[in-house]
Amino acid sequence: MSWTSASRTRVYYLNSGSEVRFLAPDGTTGAVTRIALGTTEQAGFSVSPDDSKIAVAIFIYTAFPDANYTGMRLYVEDLNDGGHHVDIFSSTTVAEFPVGWTNGHLILAVTNPRCCQVQPLNPYDAFSYHVVDPATGTRLAGLCNNSSVPEGPIEPIGAVCSAGGFAPIYQRWDGTTFDAPAAVPNPTQYLNAISPDGTRVAVGQPRIGIWGPLGHGEELDQSGYVLGWLDENHLVIQQADSPALSVLEIVDSLVAGRLWQLRAISEISAEGAYLGTFPAAVV
């Protein structure tokens, strides 16, 4: 589950598992609410872009040492005072938790209660997404249903759904599909990640590729796993032989016939360090 959440003005994070605190761009921080938890419960949350609402999922387990999953509940309430509290979903079998908001609606990752897969297809280990009304829990749209599975992180434009041996499916948050920016290669152990605006796709492979407008694809002088985008020009990767993450800048260029060049974020540190949320905030 998500233990951090970004609004338009702040980043929120869990402290000691239940206290929700904020960090603002000017460095100020403080507590906004506390999630009531039992001794065998765990919480994840997402704050709305306007800082008014918080959606909270609570997973329930048996006591240690077994710690077996027994169910979950999901509620939405006012961020600062807990008002307008509404319980919108509960289950003893599946696990759903909030990962973002879009146009006033809540995005839920839907998964099985399990742990610790190596290189999951997406950061939430989700097998689909639901977009719901935060006031009632009514489902408004479903993404990556049936035989497709979410691939890569969610983005403001929507999500990419892996479809086995077929080309990935690209869906907006209203459930409609849109065309891929190019004839993007179908990944194997490496995953594709669409940019926040949907105009580029980064493909992890022995040489990372960027695919974009006019159907053009170009390999970069980097290898490894593509984990997602910070914005339209900054890419997060993990090299195949290292657990560390690298932030790379994609630079538009027509030098030597190349559409894009790549440079490490450290090379532009003189212009100021890049600060952003990862995965990208869906606001």
Question: Which tens digits make up the pLDDT trace of 41-88?
Answer: 999 999 999 999 999 999 999 998 888 999 999 999 999 999 999 999
Query: Could you state, in order of their start, the residue ranges of all structural domains in the chain?
Result: 1-143
How far apart, in whole angstroms, are the C-alpha atoms of residue 31 and residue 21? Answer: 4
CATH code: domain 1-143 is: 2.130.10.10
How far apart, in whole angstroms, are the C-alpha atoms of residue 175 and residue 96? Answer: 18
As a whole number of Å, the end-to-end CA separation of the chain is 18
User: Which of the four pLDDT bands, split at 50, 70 and 90, describes residue 269?
Assistant: very low
pLDDT at 268: 36
Mean pLDDT of the chain, nearest integer: 83
Region 204-219: what's the mean pLDDT? 73
pLDDT at 272: 44
Contact status, residue 205 vs residue 216, Cβ threshold 8 Å:
no
Is the preceding omega at residue 123 within 30 degrees of 0, hence cis? no
Q: What confidence tens digit (pLDDT) does each residue in 149-197 have?
A: 888 888 999 998 887 777 788 999 999 999 888 777 665 555 778 888 8
Show the DSSP H helices in 61-103 as ranges. Answer: none
How far apart, in whole angstroms, are the C-alpha atoms of residue 52 and residue 62? Answer: 33
